[in-house]
Amino acid sequence: MKNALFLFFSLASASALAFDVQAEEKSTNTAQHYALKGLAHAELFPGLTNLCDIEAKIRDLSKRKRSSASGKKKKSGKSRSSAIPATKVFDNLYYVGTGGVSSWVIETSDGLILIDALNTVRQAKEYIEKGMLALGLNPADTKYLIIGHEHGDHYGGQAHFVSNYKTKVVMSDVAWSRMENNELTVFSPRWGPMPKRDITIKDGETISLGDIQVQVYETPGHTPGTISLIFPVFDHGKKHMVSLWGGTGLNYGPDLARIQSYTDAASRFGDITKAQSVDVFLSNHPTRDGSREKLKLMAEHSKDQPHPFVQGQDVVAKAYDMLASCTQAQVLRIQQQEK
């Protein structure tokens, strides 16, 4: 009798526990839960918060491609893009972008590695080339141009460096193929010419130049061909590790599979950054990663002060948790709307 009662209560307890677990999973597996989880880091990364907005319609910029047929180009006058001067950020890392789009230069013992080339050849000359010269760098030493993804605000100025300095262009195979096959979902006639296939980089491979190695990882989501980077920098000789997220926004509508790939990529790359003790988070837009504000602080930075760009490993981990959580919220939102 005692054994029978024990068995009955054990089964009842197990059933109650299973019910509680299912209820907990149901309550947490919601768009709102993941959005709030991501927004817990909003104070650290305000430039990422719109990814968590599950009330607003996910914007779709694919219609811009149709406008290219007109051949009309808007005047590219000066705007907020001129707001950030060329700045030395670390011993071997320099900002030469605009106020809206980032461009970074890594100095090595055997030349320069440029990350992204802005919108147009004019911008490449005015901001990247002149910025290099103002910082004491020689544009002719630019051996590699790594392009984070297949949008023209990052490849548009490449022709200037390829034509004048024989710079080698690096992109993922997916990015090259989408450009070659006219499969870009976002396009503007204002952007400079697309590059021709040069160096195709694979997931986990490195671009090595002199004493620096830049690790490259495929992180699809913002575009199918997006890549993200990890590389060392130095502050008065002290080593830090940078992660540069290669593409941030959602701009192609409620594409469930594509946004899920973003979540998976952010989670995976976040784990990689943890394993490599990354303590600096960057992106290719200064409003996304807070570079605009941090660059202003560099004018007053001294050796004895905390570096404005060094956030610490725990904070960097929160950036990728935020990216993964916010996009997971969007996935769950779409799934709910499709029911």
* pLDDT class of 16 with cuts at 50, 70, 90: very low
pLDDT at 300: 84
Percentage of the residues of the chain whose pLDDT score is greater than 70: 86
Beta strands in 44-178, from DSSP E residues, in sequence order: 87-90, 93-95, 104-108, 111-115, 142-146, 168-172
Whether pLDDT at 24 is above 80: no
* pLDDT class of 236 with cuts at 50, 70, 90: very high
169-223 pLDDT tens trace: 999 999 999 999 999 888 889 999 999 999 999 999 999 999 999 999 999 999 9
Domain assignment present for residue 140? The answer is yes
Domain assignment present for residue 145? The answer is yes
* pLDDT class of 257 with cuts at 50, 70, 90: very high
Name the more confident of 60 and 142: 142
C-alpha distance from residue 56 to each of 53, 206, 238, 333 (Å)? 6, 38, 43, 11
Neighbour tally for 266: CB within 10 Å: 26
247-249-255 Cα angle (round to 5): 105
Domain assignment present for residue 17? The answer is no
Give the ranges where 228-312 is alpha helix by DSSP (H).
Answer: 256-275, 286-289, 291-297
Name the more confident of 64 and 111: 111
Nearest to 186 by CA among 251, 117, 121: 251
Write out the residue range of the structural domain in which residue 193 sits.
37-71+80-338
C-alpha distance from residue 288 to each of 40, 49, 109, 147 (Å)? 16, 9, 30, 17
264-303 pLDDT tens trace: 999 999 999 999 999 999 999 999 999 999 999 998 888 8
* pLDDT class of 80 with cuts at 50, 70, 90: very low
Asked if residue 222 lies in contact with residue 193, where contact means CB atoms within 8 angstroms, the answer is no
How many domains does one find in the chain? 1
Residues whose CB is less than 8 angstroms from the CB of residue 301 and which lie 6 or more positions away in sequence, other chains included: 307, 308
Domain harbouring 215, CATH code: 3.60.15.10
Considering only 16-20, 45-49, 127-131, which range has the smallest mean pLDDT? 16-20
Whether pLDDT at 70 is above 60: no
| Rg of the chain (C-alpha set) | 23
**CA–CA distance, 325 with 339 (Å, rounded to integer):** 21
Only one residue has tokens 């409003």, namely 287
pLDDT at 123: 97
Asked if residue 98 lies in contact with residue 123, where contact means CB atoms within 8 angstroms, the answer is yes
337-318-114 Cα angle (round to 5): 100
pLDDT at 63: 65
**CA–CA distance, 221 with 224 (Å, rounded to integer):** 6
> And the tokens for 304?
């004895």
Domain assignment present for residue 230? The answer is yes
**pTM for the complete prediction?**
0.88
Only one residue has tokens 């396009």, namely 187
Nearest to 97 by CA among 107, 109, 82: 82
Domain assignment present for residue 27? The answer is no
Domain assignment present for residue 18? The answer is no
* pLDDT class of 304 with cuts at 50, 70, 90: confident
Whether pLDDT at 240 is above 50: yes
Domain assignment present for residue 217? The answer is yes
Asked if residue 47 lies in contact with residue 321, where contact means CB atoms within 8 angstroms, the answer is no
pLDDT at 208: 98
Domain assignment present for residue 198? The answer is yes
Asked if residue 108 lies in contact with residue 92, where contact means CB atoms within 8 angstroms, the answer is yes
Distance of CA 117 to the CA centre of its chain: 15
Neighbour tally for 133: CB within 10 Å: 13
* pLDDT class of 82 with cuts at 50, 70, 90: low
Pairing of strands 111-115, 104-108: antiparallel
192-144-224 Cα angle (round to 5): 60
Average pLDDT, the chain: 89
Only one residue has tokens 């890392």, namely 93
